[in-house]
Amino acid sequence: MTMIYKESMIWTGISKLGSLKLTPVILALVGIGAAISYRNEGTTTWAMALPLFLVALNILAAVLTNKKFHRNKPLLIFHLALIAVVVLVALGRLTYLRGHVELTEGEEFSSQLAEVEKGPWHWGNLNLVSFANEGFTVQYSSGVKVKKIENSIRWRDEEGKEQQGVIGGLVPLKLHGYKFYPSANKGFAPTFIWRPKKGGSPMLGSVHLPSYPMHEYRQALAWTPPASETNLWIMLQFDEVILDPAQPSLFRAPRNYQLIVRSGEQRWQLKPGESVTLPDGVLEFEGLRNWMGYSMVYDFTLPWILAAAMLAVGSMAAYFWSKFTSRPWDK
Amino acid sequence: MTAGLELQALWAALVLYVLAGSTAIFGVVLRRKPERMVLAFLIIGLVLHTITIGLRWERVGHGPYINMYEMLLSNIWSLILIYSIAYWRLPAIRATAALVMPIIFMLMGWLLMSNPYDGNEPNTYHTIWMFIHIGFAKVFLGTVLVAVGISGIILLRQGRFSGGRFARMPDDKKLDELSFRLMAIGLIFESLMLITGAIWAQDALGRYWNWDPLETWAFLTWIFVAFSLHLRLAYKTTPRTSSYMIIVVFVLAFLTFFGVPFVTPAPHQGIG
């Protein structure tokens, strides 16, 4: 008897949780959560996660206890699909990865991202990703507005075969669930050959100057050669106009340029092929290349979220269609 | 030459819309029913408006979705198109033109004050998803506009001005049912707008949702539509209360469409 009473109490509780009268209150909480997220970036997750959890509970309880859902399949499917969307979004937040990487022309991706933001359960295989930046073109409209980005790349596909192609705009490189998008964040990369004084093989490397044209007047950087204790300050100097605001133009390296290198009170002007002797090695300026900044994203839930959302909208439309066609609005 | 023709067609369309709205208002005030004339003005205006958009598209090389002038130009077109269909298919609510057209007049005034510069199409706009997204958005706003017209009638009937002018229209309960159905259709199209916008954002920006101002306002509008529909079902709200909620939905949608671009120019531009 007590057992039956307890079960009845639980069922009543679930019924109350699934009450349609509670739904507008929870939806209002979602709206408030969205407004809080909008105003305070730091609290985004919890301000939205809690009301969305309540939405899922409310729908789940309604599906279990409300007989209307059992009689009406489109309504049932709509609400189940909504729960699926909420669960998948949560799963996506736990497993996603977003990052940024910069690669010089000719450089291969080494699984190291400059900036990373990821969910606690991210289990991706970034170390399997292999591609190289083979150079790019960025077309600008007048007013220095990006019109088109085309980046030639070479990559090893998931079967290990070497591939070549062009990405840019809405076409990313897709590998092992990761998507790489070339961006307007790019610039010049003075490239050096560093010969350490203590011996060993020469090292080829490049320095990424601040993004161009965003930092057009700040093409300088402090840098220390590898395994060296000499702090350098380098600056790219050129007079020509690369991107003319008055007409369409193409991003390119300057034709005439020189590199200013400073170490303490010493100052050098280097042309390609020239070198400077430092206390712990010789630095040879090989020339100027370009670097490209890539945005990278990983979220395996995306196609599933899309499928669940489309199912939700389709079943909602079917529900309203059967409801509205059964009786004219003015009868 | 093309620009001159484009401007002439636009002015002619706007004049016809003003004639349609004014005729509808006089019809209500004078208790007449000049419905065929209103519909004729709307349809001829729409044809000229379509020619304007086509000429501009051909001239500048991109659709009307880059700057505020183009957004207003295309939204007035879509609102008039959807309202004209409702006007044609639902004769019982034709008096709503007296309330709906002044809203369009406001957008027309804004259009004439906007800068009609050509603009550049960003790198991330070259996708079919953008067109689908914009299409759903326009159907949503147009549907809500029709519902606003009906809500306005319900609310006006309670005031002194009405004086029986809307007596021949269906009663409040039936109008409320119709506006509910329009809001349900609006919810479907707004949901589709959000989904297709997310697909586009995923491709263009590398993330499907980022809580930027436009996304947040669009989501708040969606939540309020869902909230108002559930409130009506759960608490059996009166036609008056439902009408106020529909007006709030329209205000939120209006701010999303036309207010947020003032807050930030970033959305819809992409990482390119």
pLDDT tens track for B108-133: 999 999 998 887 777 777 788 889 99
At B178 the pLDDT is 97
Q: CA-CA distance, B229 to B56, in Å (whole number)? A: 39
Is A186 in contact with A268 (CB distance < 8 Å)?
no
- The predicted-structure confidence for B144-153, as pLDDT tens digits, reads as follows 999 999 999 9
- B231 with A24: Cβ contact below 8 A: yes
Residues in B touching A169 (Cβ below 8 Å): 123-124, 126, 272
Residues in A touching B207 (Cβ below 8 Å): 98, 297
Compare all CA atoms of chain A with the CA of B92 and give the residue at the minimum distance: A330
- B220 with A34: Cβ contact below 8 A: yes
- Residue B18's contacts (CB-CB under 8 Å, 6 or more residues apart) are B105, B108
Sign of CA dihedral A109, A112, A118, A122: positive
For chain A, which ranges sit under pLDDT 70?
Answer: 1-3, 6, 41-44
At B240 the pLDDT is 95
Burial A221-247 (b: 16+ CB within 10 A, else e): eebebeebeeebebebebeeebbeeee
Give B272→chain A minimum CA distance, Å: 5
Which H or E element spans position A269?
strand A266-270
Single pTM value for the model: 0.84
Sign of CA dihedral B220, B226, B227, B228: positive
Given A20, A98, A169, which is nearest B234 (Cβ)? A20
Q: Tokens 């490239």 map to which residue?
A: A191
B160 has pLDDT over 80? no
Provide the residue type at A139 as one letter: Q
Substitution target in A78, A313, A315 with the highest count of B β-carbons within 10 Å is A313
At B209 the pLDDT is 82
SS3 B33: coil
Which H or E element spans position B152?
helix B128-156
| ipTM of the modeled complex | 0.88
- Residue B12's contacts (CB-CB under 8 Å, 6 or more residues apart) are B45, B48
- The predicted-structure confidence for B239-260, as pLDDT tens digits, reads as follows 999 999 999 999 999 999 988 8
B100 has pLDDT over 80? yes
Compare all CA atoms of chain B with the CA of A19 and give the residue at the minimum distance: B234
- Residue B231's contacts (CB-CB under 8 Å, 6 or more residues apart) are A24, B237, B245
A248 touches chain B (CB under 8 A): no
- A309 with B195: Cβ contact below 8 A: yes
The mean pLDDT value of chain B amounts to: 91
Structure tokens at B75: 């939204």
Residues in A touching B188 (Cβ below 8 Å): 313, 316-317, 320
Given A27, A141, A295, which is nearest B226 (Cβ)? A27
How much of chain B exceeds pLDDT 70, in percent? 95
Compare all CA atoms of chain A with the CA of B227 and give the residue at the minimum distance: A24
A193 touches chain B (CB under 8 A): no
Task: Please choose, from the candidates A292, A297, A296, the residue with its C-alpha nearest in 3D space to the C-alpha of residue A184.
Answer: A292
Substitution target in B67, B129, B187, B202 with the highest count of A β-carbons within 10 Å is B202
At B210 the pLDDT is 79
Query: Which residues of chain B approach chain A closer than 8 Å at the C-beta?
Result: 92, 120-124, 126-127, 170, 174, 177-178, 181, 184-185, 187-188, 191-192, 195, 198-199, 202-204, 206-208, 211, 213, 216, 219-220, 223-224, 226-227, 230-231, 233-235, 271-272
At B271 the pLDDT is 36
A&B contacts, CB < 8 Å = 109
B270 has pLDDT over 50? no
Task: Please choose, from the candidates A235, A239, A214, the residue with its C-alpha nearest in 3D space to the C-alpha of residue A223.
Answer: A235
Q: CA-CA distance, A229 to A130, in Å (whole number)? A: 32
Radius of gyration of chain B from its Cα atoms, rounded to whole angstroms: 19
At B264 the pLDDT is 62
Residues in A touching B198 (Cβ below 8 Å): 306
Given B185, B188, B208, which is nearest A302 (Cβ)? B208
In order, the DSSP letters of A289-331 are EEEEEEEEEE-TTHHHHHHHHHHHHHHHHHHHHHHHHTS-TT-
- B184 with A143: Cβ contact below 8 A: no
- The predicted-structure confidence for B188-203, as pLDDT tens digits, reads as follows 999 999 999 999 888 7
B3 has pLDDT over 90? no
